[in-house]
Amino acid sequence: MSPSPDATAPLFAISGLHYRYAGAQADALADLDLEVREGEFVAVLGANGSGKSTLARLLGGLAKPTAARRAAVCGHDLLSEAGRLAARRDVGVLFQNPENQLVAQCVEDDVAFGLENLAWPAAAIRRRVDEMLTRFGLEELRRREPHMLSGGQKQRTALAGVIAIPRRVLVLDEPTAMLDPAARDEVLAAVGELRAEGLAVVYITQEMGETVGADRVVALERGTEAFAGDAGGLFADAPLVRRLGLGLPAAGELALALAERGRSLRGPPLTMDELLVALGGVT
């Protein structure tokens, strides 16, 4: 019997990670550390160009780090070709634009695509695809061409395809950024369910409001770590939140404006309910 993976080892054990695009003058990621364990939900925050998608590609084994002290993903070394290939199997990556991830002629073929590449037996693929279509509410759309879907349906199809392959950890790169509010809620609900089932998630976003409930947040600024800790700690540093250029929900903007005027609220109050409570027991 082959040894089972060490359940206590971190899923991501990254330190001193650097990445520089060919011909670029500066690193897109510089000296970055990240540790994520089983069941954790870690939010990675950062403005445009801070290195979020570069990090997603590296974590998913889709690009080779320029250098790293340690770059272990589910026990695989990202510095080796074999390690990156193994990482691609264990780490599911969902990008911002579902158009770039939908490849097949219809929804069910899209969900089956990764399993076919892994040469699963046809009957097992059918069972797994049915399970995914039910889970993501896509049964009725199974024969629909992906480009005919709404944005939320596209992103759910892409997520179903990523999850169809049993994963050890998910990296979601701004999965709601191109969606309207209703579709955003659909995708966030699907992510919430995966999280409730104990799947580890690295959730990349520019929106502070989407980090509610994260175990930890890491904020990037020009490829380096500007903050790592809990969301409350980041929010307590109003000048840093402003400098990082993060999106804030209305309740967060109000809380931040109060903090800048010397009235710090316990929190971070990012939802209206939390804000009302923080303002003094109004429920």
Rounded (5°) CA angle 49-54-59: 145
Closer to Mg ion at the Cβ: 101 or 107? 101
Is residue 136 within 8 A of residue 159, CB to CB? The reply is: yes
54 counts as binding ligand ATP under rule CB under 6 A: yes
What single-letter amino acid sits at 5?
A: P
49 counts as binding ligand ATP under rule CB under 6 A: yes
Closer to ligand ATP at the Cβ: 21 or 85? 21
Separation between Cα atoms, residue 262 and residue 255, nearest integer Å: 11
Options 49-57, 78-86, 113-121, 221-229: segment touching Mg ion (CB under 5 A): 49-57
46 counts as binding ligand ATP under rule CB under 6 A: yes
Instruction: Choose the one of ligand ATP, Mg ion, none that binds residue 28, judging by a C-beta under 5 to 8 angstroms depending on kind.
Output: ligand ATP
- Which of 21, 137, 166, 192 is close enough to bind ligand ATP by CB under 6 A? 21
* Strand 200-205 versus strand 41-46 pairing type: parallel
- Which of 15, 53, 66, 97 is close enough to bind Mg ion by CB under 5 A? 53
Instruction: Choose the one of Mg ion, ligand ATP, none that binds residue 54, judging by a C-beta under 5 to 8 angstroms depending on kind.
Output: ligand ATP
Closer to ligand ATP at the Cβ: 15 or 53? 53
* Strand 200-205 versus strand 224-229 pairing type: unpaired
- The answer to whether the peptide bond before residue 98 is cis (omega within 30 degrees of 0) is no
Q: Which of 169, 155, 4 is nearest to 74 (CA)?
A: 169
Summarize as ranges the residues that interact with Mg ion (CB under 5 A): 52-53
